[in-house]
Structure 1
């Protein structure tokens, strides 16, 4: 079984309100990439992955006038993908949903959120609120997910899995007018992100206590050693979700590599163009597995066009990966 996570930048702009592909020469949300070029690039990448299930981060919008499921299933039909059925969980107002696109001949999958709406719970349902003191002022703050995680109950044959798709809060100081304001917003955003990941880890604990085979995947907008604010808080949100101290661990080899090294060459799942024209690589996307799944000879792969020889040597795939998104897919192969 191959499971993937893929953050597709501006996927929503490739579809009209009826869920049909624009597939035009107008500009997409990607810099210097048309809608037709991004669509073709994504089709090639999805075909090359040939995954049984893909957790899509920044999936097309679902709202009163748009249907992300229709859009994704239209995209899958256009490119003849095996993964042709889509499910979206709690929708949001950011035009960036979390969706699971899967092969119904291999996987059965339903949105199956757990938890309740009780704000006093350590792990309320992900579309609810969490009350927590973020800044030690003895006052409870309200934490919400702008993009509530997608909880999937899945089966492959008779084997049951739980998948959680995540798009954690960005730490970027959007709207800052000076350095002091940027620092304040960055610290505030990191507090909220850490709270989200504590909330997520509580859900992980529930699944591990129940003996579930669990995969947590998506874009966490964080990683060990990514910024100076990590020193202020002592750890990254990734470390919280993976499990600290005596917690039952989740595992992702790319996170483990960075956590064990802290310096030197690190894997990357995203590539962003900076204002000076150079590119910044970062490890933001993860596929974390529970202990039982780690025993099943899993194989992870980041489809980075400059870090993976098979992606680099395949020129059409290399160019497609660069045109399709500012993130690259991460796949997990499991022998069942």
Structure 2
């Protein structure tokens, strides 16, 4: 899973902010996220539902709601995406940048065959391709994501596929045009454990074969443990910790990260009940003062209520906590 290092990141997000509202009244759902993804690297983004991880990544490629206000910088292969004309963004999305959405059933058109939907994604970005060659390529893609009998499945409709098979179809559509960056938003949601493992293996195989930069958005740290190179932990619209996957699990530095890891069921540890983080995430637009996590944090002191902690640490491991044991050098 080692990342192919380049002088310039494939994808670089700097101080991304996303706010929703109307009439001049806005509330920020994403509050200054910064991250990078290199060629051939898997970046995991983890956090509770409503933390802003999906909204941030959607907005980074221009898929925010019309009522959203996006500021900051998002650079893909050196090109600035924030403020890019819609027509240019549309040329990038689906060709150089691809996304797998959360719900494959609602993302697929129920009245079009699976094969034609994949072929349509090919024809949209390859104007010299014929319909016949697009359907042939669609069959190859179904085979690539390990769908049995792709020649027959090609002519079936989404409702004739299981949840795991529909997810494979979404993956096939996403990689149809050999993208450089793939964003997978909760690709294993609502799937049983066996199918989850199969889907993640398909993604891992494709990522290595195509040397993709992969952003894996999830609330499941267990999924990231075996597949990510680095992990960004998001809480209340901010990244509170970022580290290599090994360092994050061995030496978590933010109380929220430690709480998430402690919440993973562990048969080797005897407990009367499963651990859970006390309280609930703050409501959008009603953030507490200081550190956003302090109302739920067992380590909170007066300084946590007064001052938002700076991000600090090393180039390979950073966290935003007044009491982290990472170096004092602020980043």
Query: What interval of TM-score do these two structures reach, taking the shorter chain for normalisation?
Result: 0.3 to 0.5
Normalising by structure 1, report the TM-score: 0.36
Normalising by structure 2, report the TM-score: 0.37
Instruction: Tell which structure's C-alpha radius of gyration is larger.
Output: 2
